[in-house]
A and B are shown apart, each in its own frame.
Chain A
Amino acid sequence: AQSVAQPEDQVNVAEGNPLTVKCTYSVSGNPYLFWYVQYPNRGLQFLLKYITGDNLVKGSYGFEAEFNKSQTSFHLKKPSALVSDSALYFCAVSRNTGGFKTIFGAGTRLFVKA
């Protein structure tokens, strides 16, 4: 069955340190992968996506994500965290065949401490 997992409910990091938010997926065929961010009382905002090509994808606000096919992972990273990065992050997976729906992970809450 197709699925996406965000193994950490919460990630804590100090401001200025690198951050990683993990995502793994299970889907047959070639996936489309997305990261979204949600601030309090707001909708999800698109950060970046992987469709094909270069495994390292750069997105908004200095975020990037690395697609690793062998590990079926798409971890979100940022070299230097900001307090304003504190939010809820969602990984999502889709695919272009077979009527596959976009599936969202359960979300990971990121706390960046000053």
Chain B
Amino acid sequence: NAGVMQNPRHLVRRRGQEARLRCSPMKGHSHVYWYRQLPEEGLKFMVYLQKENIIDESGMPKERFSAEFPKEGPSILRIQQVVRGDSAAYFCASSQQGGQNSNQPQHFGDGTRLSIL
């Protein structure tokens, strides 16, 4: 199955530690999106990347959060100095082309559930 792969599925961190979430898009997809979902809530857009470029990071908190999508390897969402409020499910999606304003559906991974102790 060449779907969107996210790891780890579950991640536990203590306050102040760093969290790294990885996402490998579907084969042939060059557009990656990160979303955050709190329990019983919808998806909140965080960032949209293409290979080596951040296209739109308007949904990312200004501090502690960063994302990259290098030429080789998975996309990484990095949260520094985590706080309790960072506990959520983080989903990655990819699409073939067109980006956010596209008629192509996004294909989602199964998410990383981040818990902060």
A contact set with B: CB distance below 8 Å = 32, 34, 36, 41-46, 49, 51, 90, 94-107
Chain A: CB-nearest residue to B98: A96
Which of B64-72, B78-86, B103-111 is found at the contact surface with chain A?
B103-111
Number of A-B contacts (CB under 8 A): 67
**Do A96 and B103 form a contact, CB below 8 Å, given A43-B109, A44-B91?**
yes
Chain B residues numbered 88-116 whose CB sits less than 8 Å from any CB in chain A: 91, 93, 98, 100-103, 105-111, 113
Residues of B within 8 A of A (CB-CB), count: 24
Query: Closest approach, in angstroms, between the C-beta of A46 and any C-beta of chain B?
Result: 4
Give the interface SS of chain B, mostly helix, strand, loop or mixed: loop
B4 in contact (CB, < 8 A):
yes
B63 in contact (CB, < 8 A):
no
- Point out the residues of chain A lying under 8 angstroms from B108, CB to CB: 36, 43-45
Is the pair B103, A100 in contact by a Cβ cutoff of 8 Å? Answer: no
- Point out the residues of chain A lying under 8 angstroms from B105, CB to CB: 34, 36, 46, 49
B contact set with A: CB distance below 8 Å = 4, 6, 35, 41-43, 45, 48, 56, 91, 93, 98, 100-103, 105-111, 113
Residue among B35, B45, B48, B101 making CB contact with A96, cutoff 8 Å: B101
Of A94, A95, A98, A100, most buried by chain B (CB within 10 Å of CB) is A94
User: Complex: how many Å from CA A106 to CA B37?
Assistant: 10
Is the pair B100, A101 in contact by a Cβ cutoff of 8 Å? Answer: yes
Is the pair A94, B110 in contact by a Cβ cutoff of 8 Å? Answer: no
- Point out the residues of chain A lying under 8 angstroms from B101, CB to CB: 94-102
Of B4, B45, B105, B106, most buried by chain A (CB within 10 Å of CB) is B105
User: Complex: how many Å from CA A36 to CA B106?
Assistant: 10
- Point out the residues of chain B lying under 8 angstroms from A42, CB to CB: 110-111
